[in-house]
């Protein structure tokens, strides 16, 4: 009997030590899994805080201007041809509103410049940014001193055939827009000596169209590309909302006329050669040359322009929808299957619309469709678009909104939550088995002693 008891005592420590080792391994794995879950939670929380800080910054930077009603249209335009830009006349209601907004003299925004402040010889052209129908944009360096503290600038050099009066109109509109973080800032100009020059703030990456085309592969591999495009669209909408508050119609909103300093945070609307100031249209009507016409970008123009020679603020909204489509397709030409101008005009009037890519998020697709609604009065205003895009950015911070995204999130994080639970169950069963085996050994030992 004594030998049996000795044998049982010698066997018990070995079994206990093996069980203790198993427990230690299970506890270590459980602790490791819990640490992974905690680390993932901390990273998600930091990401949430950074995105929340971003949306707060966007809200602070948003223009606080109070906008008038968007129902204020332009009166019909009477062009000689659908392929030219007509003079935009205003209705009586528009003229009355303009008089209320500008009770002073009609030359309030005229860029009175007695002598040139800067000339072409003062600039060293570094890189071509874009070449348009009215002039070329360059990144340049000042050879003598600075321009309002800027050594490097963006300059627009007018082409031959552009009159000083045309450039003065563009200068007056840019001066009226004053400062907005999403509008290219005018620094100086020369409309007295040829070639006429506009000096503007410098940008880093050129046009948004060339940026998305150059970085196509990198952007396509970015998992947050749709969020970045949404933020860029939000800044463009802010700029257009600012133009609306100043009663300015851009008339040439396209991806090629949007410049990039830091994507997607610093996006600037540029190129105001076709822009129109509604508060000055009545006073300028008698001085506008009737034979002077400017070609317009047909692929960005709404159907009411081709049917009724009519372009209003809602025409810029239509163009904004085209800009969203361009961005999602990495700078593709709208209506790529249409070659001639007549085909473009016919299909736009017939209801043909650009088809959004499959990779585009459904919220942006819906905005495109809303921007292309007919009649034009059914389209949202830029204030509405700013609110919609801001809501989308806020929803990105809250979390996934669709059921598919929710199940994807569950599939990703479920293993991290299930592993600790399984390990705890294993430890519980092993403890139960250990106590049961000890009880069985004790009972068998007592029976043997008897």
> What would the pLDDT profile of 224-271 be if each residue is shown by its tens digit?
999 999 999 999 999 999 999 999 999 999 999 999 999 999 999 999
Q: With contact defined as beta carbons under 8 Å apart, do 248 and 277 qualify? A: yes
Residue set of the binding site for ATP = 256
Band (pLDDT 50/70/90 cuts) for residue 328 is: very high
**DSSP state for residue 196 in the 8-state scheme:** P
Distance of CA 192 to the CA centre of its chain: 38
Looking at every residue in the chain, the average pLDDT score rounds to: 77
How much of the chain, in percent, has pLDDT values that exceed 90? 48
Task: Tell me the binding residues.
Answer: 256-257
The domain that contains 141 carries what CATH number? 1.10.510.10
Whether residue 209 lies inside any domain: the answer is yes
Its domain, for residue 357, covers 62-398
Residue 251 lies in a domain: yes
In this structure, the chain runs to a length of 450
Spatial distance between the Cα atoms of 246 and 173, rounded to a whole number of angstroms: 9
211 in a structural domain: yes
Q: Is residue 53 part of a domain?
A: no
**What's the total number of domains in the chain?**
1
Residue 31: the pLDDT is: 78
Per-residue confidence band for 148, with pLDDT thresholds at 50, 70 and 90: confident
Name every residue whose Cβ is closer than 8 Å to that of residue 231 and which is 6 or more positions away in sequence: 54, 58, 264, 265, 393
Q: What is the mean pLDDT of residues 178-198?
A: 92
From 360, 369, 267, select the one nearest 318 (Cα to Cα): 369
Q: What is the pTM of this model?
A: 0.67
Check: CB of residue 135 under 8 Å from CB of residue 158: yes
pLDDT value of residue 290? 34
What pLDDT is stored for residue 199 in this prediction? Answer: 94
311 domain-assigned? yes
User: For residue 113, is it within any domain?
Assistant: yes
- Binding site, annotated residues for Mg(2+): 257
Give the active site residues: 252
* Coil, helix or strand at residue 22: helix
Look at residue 430 and tell me if it is in a domain.
no
Question: Per the domain annotation, does 330 fall within a domain?
Answer: yes
What is the per-residue pLDDT for 279? 87
Within 8 A by CB and 6+ apart from 169, the residues are: none
pLDDT value for 13: 53
């Amino acid at each position: 009997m004594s030998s049996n008891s000795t044998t049982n005592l010698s066997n018990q420590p070995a079994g206990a030590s093996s069980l203790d080792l198993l427990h230690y391994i299970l506890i270590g794995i459980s602790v490791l899994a819990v640490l992974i879950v905690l680390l993932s939670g901390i990273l998600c929380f930091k990401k949430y805080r950074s995105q929340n800080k971003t949306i707060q910054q966007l809200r602070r930077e948003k223009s606080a201007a109070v906008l008038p009603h968007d129902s204020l249209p332009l009166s019909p335009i009477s062009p000689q041809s659908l392929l030219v830009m007509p003079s935009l006349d205003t209705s009586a209601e528009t003229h009355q509103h303009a008089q209320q907004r500008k009770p002073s003299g009609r030359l309030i925004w005229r860029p009175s410049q007695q002598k040139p402040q800067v000339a072409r010889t003062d600039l060293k052209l570094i890189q071509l940014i874009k070449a348009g129908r009215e002039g070329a944009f360059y990144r340049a360096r000042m050879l003598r001193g600075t321009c309002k503290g800027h050594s490097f600038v963006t300059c627009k050099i007018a082409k031959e055939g552009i009159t000083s009066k045309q450039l003065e109109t563009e200068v007056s509109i840019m001066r009226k827009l004053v400062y907005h973080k999403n509008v290219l800032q005018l620094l100086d100009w020369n409309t007295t000596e040829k070639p006429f020059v506009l000096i503007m703030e410098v940008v880093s990456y050129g046009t948004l169209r060339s940026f998305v085309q150059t970085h196509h592969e990198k952007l396509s591999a970015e998992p947050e590309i749709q969020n970045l495009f949404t933020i860029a669209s939000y800044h463009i909408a802010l700029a257009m909302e600012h133009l609306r508050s100043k009663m300015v119609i851009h008339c040439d909103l396209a991806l090629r006329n949007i410049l990039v300093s830091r994507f997607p945070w610093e996006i600037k609307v540029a190129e105001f050669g076709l822009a129109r100031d509604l508060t000055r249209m009545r006073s300028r009507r008698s001085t506008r040359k009737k034979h002077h016409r400017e070609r317009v970008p047909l692929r960005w123009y709404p159907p009411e322009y081709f049917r009724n020679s009519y372009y209003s603020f809602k025409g810029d909204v239509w163009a904004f929808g085209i800009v969203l489509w361009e961005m999602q397709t990495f700078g593709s030409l709208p209506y790529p299957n249409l070659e001639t101008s007549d085909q473009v005009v016919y299909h736009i009037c017939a209801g043909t619309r650009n088809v959004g890519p499959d990779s585009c998020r459904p919220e942006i697709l819906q905005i495109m469709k809303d921007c292309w609604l007919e009649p034009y009065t059914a389209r949202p205003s830029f204030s509405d678009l700013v609110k919609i895009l801001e809501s989308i950015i806020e929803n990105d911070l809250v979390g996934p909104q669709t059921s598919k995204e929710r199940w994807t999130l569950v599939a990703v994080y479920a293993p991290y939550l299930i592993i600790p639970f399984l390990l705890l169950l294993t430890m519980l069963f092993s403890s139960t088995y250990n106590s049961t085996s000890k009880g069985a050994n004790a009972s068998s030992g007592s029976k043997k002693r008897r």
